[in-house]
Structures are given as C-alpha cells and as structure tokens.
C-alpha cells in the first residue's frame, strides 16, 4: 500500500527532477491512476518468473502493479534517479528498489540473483531518451527476458508518429512476434498508449 507519511506530495518529486534531468525524467508529472490501471490490467503474471518495473519514478504505476500482483510473484523496481528512488522507498517501504540504469538489466539480475524474468514493465519516457540509449536499454531487456516473456511500456500520444519510425520500434519488430497496443488513455496527461510485446525470438523479421 502506498505510504504518504513523510513523503513529498505526489508529483513534486517528478516535477523537480524533470527540471534537473529533463531527458531522463521526460514528464513534469507522474502518471495518472488511469494509466496505472491500464498497465496493470495488461501484465501477464508469470508462473515463477519475476516482474520488473523500470523507471518507476515515485511509484505512480508501481502502486497499481502491486495491487494486481499475485502473492508470491517476485517483483522489484529499477530506478536511475536517486531522489526518485528514495521517494519511492518512502511511499512503498516493502518494495525492493534497485538504483541503477535499465541498460544494466543483465548485470542487475545477476547481482540480485533473479532467476527467470517473465515481464518487464518499462514505465520510462522512451520518446525523449536519446536513440542510442533507447537501443541499449531495449537490447538489455531482450537479453534478460524469458523466451515467453512480455515487455509492457507506454508512449505519449504526441510522440507516436515519430516513435513508430524509430530504431526502437524497428528493434521491437525484429525481436517480438506480436506487438499490440491498447486504446489511448485520455485521462493521462499527456494521453498515452500502452504497448504489449510478446513472442520474443519468434518474430519473422528476426535476423
């Protein structure tokens, strides 16, 4: 359950960190409950495998993932920004938070002795991150996910036309058999679309 005592008001952490690191934080406010619910609904909770949320910020999506998580499913968050990570730890004291870069996912999982990774929920601002960094992070996810694993993420609606032609989108098409997306979550600011990628290694485009 989220804990508000002693924590910064929701939004103030993301707002302040956006001005310190705009290309990492990528939004001036945390995601809405509507986006959190839309993402949590799409998670395929794996049998035995772990679920990792990357770019968890101060926990706007995390709260909804944890509310839907079956008991016993291993779950932890990866967050690059130390201030956001501390805000997240204060809000959700029982959550394991790893302060590191998603691009290091393979070494994080080895260090934390995570067995199989069934689902990665990447709730970071893909469209504002430099393309070479996007590629490194996606390669790390692809290398870490189980063969039947799932990648979930959101893209803000205004970025979609450019994003669809990006190296990130091509890398997804080359590696996942199915890439589905939901309808626009209009209640989020900015509105966002949730993508659900599955069938790793079974894409007909895979080289």
Give the residue nearest to ligand SAM (CB). 57
**Contact residues for ligand SAM, defined by CB under 6 A:** 14, 24-27, 30-31, 54-57, 60-61, 78-81, 84, 101-103, 123-125, 137
Report, in Å, the least distance between residue 33 CB and ligand SAM.
11
First-to-last alpha carbon distance for the chain, in angstroms, is 44
By the 8 A CB rule, do 136 and 167 touch? no
Bridge partners (DSSP) listed for residue 97? 77
Is the Cβ of residue 61 or residue 92 nearer to ligand SAM in the bound state? 61
Shortest distance (Å) from residue 6 CB to ligand SAM: 20
Phi/psi of residue 77, each to 5°? -110, 145
Q: Distance between CA atoms of 179 and 118, rounded to whole angstroms?
A: 16
Min separation Cβ 203 and ligand SAM, Å:
24
Report yes or no: 163 and 195 within 8 Å, Cβ to Cβ.
no
Burial of 185 (0-12, 13-18, 19+ CB in 10 A): buried
CB of 49 to ligand SAM, least distance (A): 20
């Amino acid at each position: 359950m989220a804990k508000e005592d002693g924590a910064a008001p929701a939004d103030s952490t993301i707002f302040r960190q956006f001005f310190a690191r705009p290309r990492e934080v990528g939004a001036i406010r945390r995601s809405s409950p509507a986006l959190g619910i839309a993402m949590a609904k799409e998670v395929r909770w794996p049998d035995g495998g772990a679920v990792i949320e990357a770019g968890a910020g101060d926990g706007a999506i995390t709260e909804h993932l944890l509310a839907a998580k079956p008991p016993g499913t291993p779950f932890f968050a990866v967050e690059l920004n130390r201030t956001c990570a501390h805000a997240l730890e204060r809000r959700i004291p029982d959550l394991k938070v790893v302060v590191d870069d998603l691009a290091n996912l393979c070494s994080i999982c080895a260090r934390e002795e995570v067995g199989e990774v069934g689902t990665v929920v990447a709730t970071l601002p893909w469209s504002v991150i430099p393309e070479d960094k996007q590629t490194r992070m996606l390669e790390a996810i692809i290398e870490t996910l189980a063969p039947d694993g799932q990648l979930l993420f959101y893209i803000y609606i205004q970025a979609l036309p450019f994003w669809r032609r990006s190296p990130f989108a091509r890398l997804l098409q080359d590696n996942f058999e199915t890439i589905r997306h939901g309808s626009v979550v209009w209640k989020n600011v900015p509105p966002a679309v949730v993508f659900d990628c599955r069938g790793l290694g079974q894409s007909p485009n895979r080289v």
